[in-house]
């Protein structure tokens, strides 16, 4: 058996045969369902020769192998005493921890809503700055009109939340918005003396809130599934929307509204006790130090609901938004330290770019593009962010608007609180400078694999007279381009599977980016491999975690071994249905043997058509 010793090590490092409930494979990775994940030695498994990376999330415990994973899997299930069919039948979905599931939902729901929140928060900051400097009077019509953007965004927050979380909770976005609009209407919002079916309703402010509408939309999703099951199909189009609204509104007013307020009050009480017992400084310090880890785990936005709750209840956030800003600036400082330390021009360009991005409040490119690879910047941010957060916590810095990042600093002077602004600026400077110095002193670790690749590349540089120097790869689908570092899958975003690009599709047809042989078609039809005559190995991965759809919504018409031409139709995909089931439709195209070539360069375009070049492989 070709991979026997390799599989023996994998079995040992995931906790032994007795710890494995099931194991299936995707296009590039083994997906384990483990009885106890704590028994798995993840770090040692990551270091195992032949393993690209290990990703542990709520989907599965995933060991990324590469495109030859099917061969590894075939031997692995044989060693485990399974067969491919029995393995598929025994596939067990792990149950989500309820708390983690709730936090995931909050984080995913807040992500699309952040855009209007950032706009309104930054506007509040600049208006505060303009009023302080006397450029605009608070009583002027101009100020009041511009400030209406901020007030409207937060007043109608339940509507944004309803639209954002409806699809994830199997509810109609339009019915969810209709319910949210009803809750914030003048006939219900903060109205006393209301009753329904003879039952008195408490006076509740639904504007600015988020927990009641999330609970209500969850109930709407459950009710939608139930009605589709029991209401005759010929009546569903007319009857289901009416039943959903007539049932959901009373249930929300009687149950979810009060529960949401209790939860909000409970969160406030918890942090009040924490503040009175230990001081909020410890939370500010820890969050500023460890935010990059939360972003890497996909939980970077979990603090947003907590910050919103603070602002709604207290008029300011004493913890999270200031800590997030300090952490972002510390990330920028760490990358500046690497920029100053780096000698290679490509590295300098990378560190300089991601440092500026983090300075503007977008840290994902730095975290996925540099932190995961070099790891030492995490330590620099823990030092710089921790010290900056400690100072902010001890001086009781308050964030008066839902805003973070460098551009939001003027908002800290709201209510004429100039000392608050000064303390925040000092905190940010501490975090930035300390992280810069720490990263510079920690240095850039030497990547042996990268060095070997560079040496090999120097030997294989084509001569000036060589006719073939590059191979262009066309887009596989029409859509909007997404940088690989921003894709919501760590195996791709870190570049572990090779360089490439992501495309958010606006068309249903997947076509061949280059001529060659179809080297693989995954049974669930969500991934296709192509090998060109030059030996370039291209992986087309349609959607994220869409292996779980088991081929639904995919109509793949090519088979393994087929010879194809550039632009030839490979598959037709119903992306609307994929999104309805809660999956990210982003199509990813990567060159899995990137290290065999001088470089793989993504095209600098915001959108592409199928005849547009999206990648260039330098031979």
Cβ contact 355:361 at 8 Å: no
Per cent of the chain over pLDDT 70 is 86
* Gap between the Cα atoms of 347 and 293, Å rounded: 23
For residue 613, the cross-strand partners are 474
Per cent of the chain over pLDDT 90 is 29
Take residue 385 and report the two structure tokens written for it: 């962010």
Within its chain, how far is the Cα of 547 from the centroid?
19
Task: Specify the CATH number of the domain 4-89.
Answer: 3.30.1360.60
Looking at residue 294, its pLDDT comes to 75
- Residue 411 binned pLDDT confidence (cut-offs 50, 70, 90): confident
Domain boundaries, the chain: 4-89, 113-270, 281-445, 464-618
Which residues participate in catalysis according to the annotation? 26
Cβ contact 205:159 at 8 Å: no
Return the number of other C-beta atoms located less than 10 Å from residue 352's C-beta.
16
Looking at residue 449, its pLDDT comes to 39
Q: Which residue has the higher pLDDT, 528 or 414?
A: 528
Looking at residue 436, its pLDDT comes to 95
H/E run at residue 573: strand 569-573
* Gap between the Cα atoms of 71 and 33, Å rounded: 19
Per mean pLDDT, which range of 72-76, 358-362, 382-386 is the poorest? 358-362
Give Cβ neighbours of residue 273 (< 8 Å, ≥ 6 apart).
none
Q: Which residue has the higher pLDDT, 203 or 123?
A: 203
Q: Inform me whether the pLDDT recorded for 312 exceeds 80.
A: no
Take residue 585 and report the two structure tokens written for it: 């439709």
Looking at residue 347, its pLDDT comes to 79
Give Cβ neighbours of residue 43 (< 8 Å, ≥ 6 apart).
none
108-118 pLDDT, tens digit each? 676 677 778 77
* Gap between the Cα atoms of 333 and 405, Å rounded: 13
Looking at residue 175, its pLDDT comes to 94
Q: Which residue has the higher pLDDT, 90 or 604?
A: 604
542-587 pLDDT, tens digit each? 998 888 788 899 999 998 888 999 999 999 999 988 988 888 999 9
Q: Inform me whether the pLDDT recorded for 185 exceeds 60.
A: yes
Phi, psi for residue 255 in degrees, rounded to 5? -120, -60
* Gap between the Cα atoms of 176 and 162, Å rounded: 5
52-110 pLDDT, tens digit each? 778 776 556 888 877 677 788 888 888 887 654 333 333 334 445 566 566 666 666 76
Q: Where is mean pLDDT largest: 26-40, 51-65, 305-319?
A: 26-40
Looking at residue 30, its pLDDT comes to 85
CATH 1.10.645.10 correct for 464-618: no
Rounded mean pLDDT, 471-484 = 92
Looking at residue 82, its pLDDT comes to 64
Cβ contact 261:204 at 8 Å: yes
Cβ contact 399:307 at 8 Å: yes
């Amino acid at each position: 058996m070709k991979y026997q010793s390799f599989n023996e090590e994998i079995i040992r490092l995931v906790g032994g045969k007795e710890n494995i409930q099931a194991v299936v494979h995707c296009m590039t990775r083994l997906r384990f369902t483990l009885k106890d994940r704590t028994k798995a030695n993840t770090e040692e498994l990551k270091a195992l020769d032949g393993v690209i990376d290990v990703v542990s999330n709520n989907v599965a415990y995933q060991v990324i192998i590469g495109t030859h994973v099917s061969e590894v899997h075939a031997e692995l299930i044989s060693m485990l005493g399974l067969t491919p069919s029995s393995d598929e039948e025994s596939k067990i979905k792990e149950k989500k921890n309820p708390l983690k599931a709730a936090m995931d939902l909050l984080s995913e729901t807040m992500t699309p809503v952040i855009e209007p929140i950032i706009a309104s928060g930054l506007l509040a900051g600049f208006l505060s700055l303009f009023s302080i400097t006397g450029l605009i009077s608070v009583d002027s019509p101009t100020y009041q009109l511009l400030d209406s953007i901020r007030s409207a965004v937060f007043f109608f927050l339940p509507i944004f939340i309803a639209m954002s979380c409806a699809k994830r909770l199997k509810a109609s976005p339009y019915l969810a918005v209709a319910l949210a609009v009803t809750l914030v209407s003048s006939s219900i919002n903060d109205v006393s003396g209301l009753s329904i079916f003879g039952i008195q309703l408490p006076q509740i402010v639904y504007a600015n809130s988020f927990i009641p509408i999330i609970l209500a939309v969850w109930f709407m999703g459950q009710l939608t599934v139930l009605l589709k099951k029991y209401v005759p199909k010929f009546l569903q189009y007319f009857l289901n929307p009416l039943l959903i609204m007539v049932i959901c509104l009373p249930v929300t007013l009687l149950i979810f509204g009060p529960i949401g307020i209790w939860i909000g009050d409970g969160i406030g009480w918890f942090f009040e006790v924490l503040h009175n017992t230990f001081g909020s400084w410890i939370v500010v310090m820890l969050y500023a130090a460890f935010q990059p880890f939360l972003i890497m785990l996909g939980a970077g936005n979990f603090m947003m609901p907590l910050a919103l709750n603070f602002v709604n209840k207290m008029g300011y956030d004493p913890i999270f938004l200031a800590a997030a800003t300090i952490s972002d600036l510390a990330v920028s400082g760490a990358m500046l330290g690497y920029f100053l330390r780096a000698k290679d021009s490509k590295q300098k360009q990378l560190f300089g770019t991601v440092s500026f991005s983090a300075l503007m409040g977008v840290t994902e490119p730095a975290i996925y593009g540099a932190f995961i690879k070099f790891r030492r910047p995490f330590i620099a941010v823990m030092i710089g962010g921790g010290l900056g957060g400690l100072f902010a916590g001890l001086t009781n810095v308050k964030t008066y608007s839902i805003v973070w990042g460098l551009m939001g600093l003027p908002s800290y002077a709201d209510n004429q609180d100039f000392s608050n602004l000064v303390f925040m600026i000092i905190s940010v400077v501490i975090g930035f400078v300390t992280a810069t110095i720490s990263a510079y002193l920690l240095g850039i670790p030497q990547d042996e694999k990268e060095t070997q690749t560079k040496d090999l590349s120097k030997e294989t540089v084509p001569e000036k007279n060589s006719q073939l120097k590059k191979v262009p790869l066309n887009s596989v689908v029409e859509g909007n381009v997404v940088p690989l570092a921003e894709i919501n899958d760590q195996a791709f975003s870190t570049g572990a599977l090779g360089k490439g690009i992501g495309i958010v599709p606006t068309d249903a047809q997947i076509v061949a980016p280059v001529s060659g042989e179809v080297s693989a078609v995954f049974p669930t039809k969500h991934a296709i491999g192509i090998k060109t005559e030059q030996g370039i190995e291209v992986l087309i991965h349609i959607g994220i975690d869409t292996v779980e759809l088991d081929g639904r919504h995919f109509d793949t018409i090519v088979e393994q071994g087929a010879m194809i031409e550039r632009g030839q139709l490979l598959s037709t995909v119903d992306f609307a249905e994929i999104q309805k089931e809660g999956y990210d439709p982003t199509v990813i195209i990567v060159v899995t043997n990137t290290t065999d070539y001088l470089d793989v360069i993504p095209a600098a375009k915001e959108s592409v058509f199928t005849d547009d070049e999206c990648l260039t492989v330098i031979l």
